[in-house]
Structure 1
Amino acid sequence: MKHVLIASLAMSVFALPALAADYSIMAPAAPGGGWDQTARTMQSALQTEKISGKVQVMNVPGAGGTIGIAQFASQQKGNPNQLMVGGYVMVGAILTNKSPVTLKDVTPIARLTGEYEVIVVPASSDIKTIADLTAKLKANPGAVSWGGGSAGGTDHITAGLIAKASGVDPTKINYIAFSGGGEALAAILGGQVTAGISSYGEFEGQIKAGALRVLGISSDKKVDGIDAPTLKEGGVDVVIQNWRMVAAAPGLTDEQKKAVSADIEKLAKSKTWQDNLKSKGWIDTYLAGPEFDAQLAKDIASTESILKDIGLVK
């Protein structure tokens, strides 16, 4: 009887479900921006859906995420409990900052979301349309200042593409980079720059409150729930999307990567995450595995080409 009880206890121990992993997510930017929002939305969903027991978010701002990725790659090798948010902005920043640490030095897991860029001005601005803005740009490129995220990121690239599409030398644009969405927003609202440029989600509250006016959105067609013309409709032939991803630490075993990937897949398909995408206006662009690796390589190559084209990379 004693042996049967011991065997029964042993079986019950082995039958216990694996404990949910605790995660720490690095947002390699200041609080308030898109990466910070993504990390904190992940934190909430992972915990609400009980995919993870405890999730912490830490901010390491600077240089378009290249300071954060360098720290992440050097300090977290082999740690399966560490995640980092990144995206299109980081791809550009790595190139423009000539960062010795790249996405090859971490473990990309999945693309999560996408957002289109919007061009905004304060509600009090005399600029009413994207045509008004491009007219000023053509008259004096340096007199039009653009406030956005880090140098070489999606915002900077979009400003350069708008200039190019308007027949203006994109190397002449007066782009002012901010390390966080909060800083950029304050500068735009305070009239310190002519126009602001970022993903819709970072300006949504002020747009809905009537403090900012949207001149155009970088989608190929109108986006449900966003009352704004496309840049194309305003006569500027530019379509671009900012995407965000999550990466794990370098040096993981195949089993560790598989476990992290499984948790991220559960996150991406969860009701909490999907509800957050809708409320924030983020587009579900979930892509993982070899397909994501291939798409990431393609995006890095095309970004380098764009940056060279608009004079940000030689």
Structure 2
Amino acid sequence: MFIKKVIALGATTVMLASAASADVSVMIPAGPGGGWDGTGRQAFNAMNAAGIYTEGVNFTNTGGAGGTIGLAAFQNSEAGKADALAVFGAITVGSIMLNSSPIDLSTYTPIARLTAEYLVIAVDANSPIQTLDELVAAMRENTGATPVGGGSAGGVDHIALALLAQAAEVPVADLNYIPQTSGAETVTAIVNGTLQAGISGISEFAPFQEQGRIRILGITSNERHASLPDVPTFAEAGYAVEIANWRGILGAPGMPADNAAEWVARFDQLSETPEWAQVLETQGWDSFYLSGPAFGEFIGAENERIGEILKGAGLIQ
């Protein structure tokens, strides 16, 4: 399969390679190298390896505002097209609300929910903070002087920190949350002291713990995760927080029904292949598969659930 790499910096798109025109276009509403980028590229690599879809793919990265900039561009340019797909996830749902974006996810074509990735919170490897309790104590003592970084404001990282604060009786409105562009940027800020702690997905932080740069204090799963067996859950530390960052694929608004059914069938097939199982294992992602109209119903329910969380945390009215 030929893959044409396209990287967008702000609104500028830079072609890195080109060949025959691609058969499908995939919008990744984030910068290269993050969870959404990995989800889109790994899914199509596995689909190609499994022989499910072996034609060309044109990836476009357009980051910013929790995916809302990329999805808005996708909506404007790809509506009604047969083979136009976009990666998105839980972050997008909250960011649409926080940014008062005009994007209406119910107008998109639900294809497949692919993965869930639990979140971890970490400090510098040399930090005197050794446990989640000690980090919470620092937040209680001087909330504003305890900067914590993560993904987009209103995204799942921000929501997880707000839920931790609520559970620990730390005023959510006083949190010093500083959005970062990627997990790697968050780690850099932790190590150089700009952040006291950071929160991100397992796949983004685990490699940096292996390198000895950070220390992971807790995970938002309901039980210890196989990829980080020594890391306690938030619940083990006494904070009843469980949340995962799910990611999936949308079709363009107004995608013809026959094409939507074809893409749902392809992802249904992919979800059961050993090639995709290997991707999940390698990336530390959990399978969270759901497709078609059932996925659309899930998106609607998530819109309500995340909206209530954001309102309860005082992040939106």
After TM superposition, the score normalised by the length of structure 2 is 0.89
Post-superposition CA distance 1:65-89 (Å, at most 9, x none): 0001101111001222221110100
Report the equivalent of 2:123.
121
Residues 257 and 264 of structure 1: is their aligned pair in 2 closer, same or farther, counting only changes over 3 Å?
Answer: same
Letter in 2 for 1:297: G
One-letter code aligned to 1:300: N
- Secondary structure of 1:269 counterpart: coil
Compute the displacement of 1:47 (Å): 2.1
- The residue type equivalent to 1:33 in the other structure is G
Aligned residue number for residue 9 of structure 2: none
CA distance in 1, matches of 2:186, 2:139: 20
Counterpart mapping for 1:1-314 below 5 A: 22-52=23-53, 53-226=55-228, 227-314=230-317
Post-superposition CA distance 1:74-118 (Å, at most 9, x none) = 100122222111010000000100100121232121110001110
- Report the Cα distance in structure 2 between the residues aligned to 1:181 and 1:81, rounded to whole angstroms: 30
SS in 1 for 2:236: coil
After superposing the two structures, state which structure 1 stretch, 204-213 or 170-179, moved more.
204-213
Highest CA radius of gyration, 1 or 2? 1
Q: CA deviation at 1:190?
A: 2.5
Q: Distance in 2 between matches of 1:211 and 1:183?
A: 13
Question: What is the rounded CA distance, in whole Å, between the counterparts of 1:145 and 1:192 in structure 2?
Answer: 8
Structure 2 unaligned blocks of 5 or more: 1-21
Q: Which amino acid aligns with 1:46?
A: M
Aligned to 1:85, the other structure's residue is in SS state strand
Write the letter of the residue equivalent to 1:42: A
SS in 1 for 2:85: strand
CA distance in 2, matches of 1:175, 1:265: 38
Q: Aligned with 1:152: secondary structure?
A: coil
- For 1:225 and 1:183, the matched residues in 2 are separated by 22
Task: Give the Cα separation in 2 of the matches to 1:30 and 1:186.
Answer: 17
State the Cα distance separating 1:43 from its structure 2 match: 2.7
Query: Which residue of 1 is the match for residue 7 of structure 2?
Result: none
User: Whole-Å Cα distance in 2 between the matches of residues 102 and 202 of structure 1?
Assistant: 29
- Superposition deviation, residue 299 in structure 1: 1.1
Query: 2:19 maps to which residue?
Result: none
> AA paired with 1:255?
D
* Structure 1, unpaired ranges of 5+: 1-20
Superposed CA deviations along residues 216-253 of structure 1, whole A, max 9, x for unmatched, are 00011111121200011112221111101110111112
Q: Which has the higher helix share?
A: 1
Q: Which moved more, 1:176-185 or 1:244-253?
A: 176-185
Q: What residue identity is the alignment partner of 1:212?
A: I
C-alpha separation in 2, matches of 1:106 and 1:220: 31
Aligned letter for 1:35? W
Contact 2:83–2:259 (CA under 8 A) maintained in structure 1: no
- Counterpart CA distance in 2 for 1:128 and 1:224 is 21
Give 1:43's aligned amino acid: F
Distance 1:258 1:284 in 2: 21
Whole-Å separation in 2 of the counterparts to 1:60 and 1:179: 12
Within 2, Cα distance between the matches of 1:50 and 1:187?
A: 42
| Counterpart-to-counterpart distance in 2, 1:181 and 1:223 | 19
- The one-letter code matched in structure 2 to 1:308 is K
Measure the CA separation in 1 of the matches of 2:273 and 2:58: 19
Q: CA deviation at 1:276?
A: 0.6
Task: Read off the aligned partner of 1:149 and give its amino acid letter.
Answer: G
Distance 1:253 1:259 in 2: 10
Does the 8 Å contact 1:28/1:35 carry over to 2?
yes
Equivalent pairs: percent with the same residue?
41
Gap change, CA 1:88 and 1:40, over 3 Å in 2: same
Match of 1:288, as an amino acid?
A: S
Residues 1:147 and 1:243: Cα distance change in structure 2 (over 3 Å): same
Aligned partner of residue 164 in structure 2, secondary structure = helix
- Spell out, residue by residue over 1:130-171, the C-alpha distance to the aligned partner (whole angstroms, 9 max, x if none): 000000011011111111000100000011111111111111
Shift of 1:269: 1.9
User: Does the CA contact (< 8 Å) of 2:81 and 2:256 recur in 1?
Assistant: no
Mapped to 1, the partners of 2:180 and 2:271 lie a distance apart of: 29
